[in-house]
């Protein structure tokens, strides 16, 4: 009888330990997701340069997440390409309500110049390569908007 009680207690303590572990994993996963500020998607109809990286035409996902420091990180993934962009506090925008990419177009050259998300405006003009900027300035350039879908939290 004593051995039976010992075996039952041992099984119960193992079950409690497993349950505590699962709860810890679940709460860790929730806290990681809580670091996501915004997530969503967009479709590039043409190959487009963004911060020195050429993204082929296609569907992309993005995630804007908090970091441990005074910045956020914008992760863009799709079509075998990935791009990480640091977003600083100066990018906060109280009047920004929609999602849109602004792309400068000159001939076949397309360069992302800004991204607007609810609460954020990111300007990439100063980050364009000198050669691309000169090429766009020399040619007659137009801007086009690419719609950005922001997921509901």
* Amino acid 112: pLDDT: 95
The residue-averaged pLDDT of 75-95 equals 88
Quick one: pLDDT band at residue 90, thresholds 50, 70, 90? confident
pLDDT band at 127 (very low <50, low <70, confident <90, very high): very low
Token pair of 6, please?
């010992």
pLDDT for 1 equals 61
Average of per-residue pLDDT across 117-140: 65
Distance CA 11, CA 30 (A): 29
Summary mean pLDDT of the chain: 78
Class of residue 115 by CB neighbours under 10 A (exposed 0-12, middle 13-18, buried 19+)? buried
Q: CA geometry: angle at 52 spanning 91 and 98, to 5°? A: 35
Q: Does the pTM of the predicted model rise above 0.85?
A: no
Digit-coded pLDDT (tens) for 22-81: 444 444 433 344 477 899 999 999 999 999 899 999 999 999 998 888 789 999 999 888
More confident residue, 133 or 110: 110
Q: Residue ranges of the domains in the chain?
A: 1-34, 36-150
User: CA separation (Å) from 77 to 37, 55, 61, 85, 116?
Assistant: 17, 9, 5, 12, 18
pLDDT of residue 67: 87
């Amino acid at each position: 009888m004593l051995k039976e009680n010992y075996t039952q207690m041992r099984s119960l303590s193992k079950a409690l330990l497993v349950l505590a572990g699962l709860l810890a994993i679940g709460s860790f996963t929730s806290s990681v997701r809580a670091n996501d500020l915004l997530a969503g998607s967009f479709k590039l109809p043409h190959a487009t340069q963004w911060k020195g990286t050429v993204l082929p035409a296609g569907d992309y996902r993005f995630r804007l997440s908090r970091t441990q420091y005074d910045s956020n990180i914008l992760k863009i993934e799709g079509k075998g390409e990935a791009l990480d962009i640091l977003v600083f506090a100066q990018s906060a925008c109280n009047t920004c309500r929609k999602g849109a990419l602004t792309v400068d177009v000159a001939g076949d050259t397309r360069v992302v110049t800004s991204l607007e998300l609810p609460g954020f405006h990111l300007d990439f003009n100063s980050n364009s390569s000198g050669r691309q900027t000169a090429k766009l300035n020399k040619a007659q350039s137009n801007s086009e908007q690419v719609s950005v879908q922001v997921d509901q939290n």
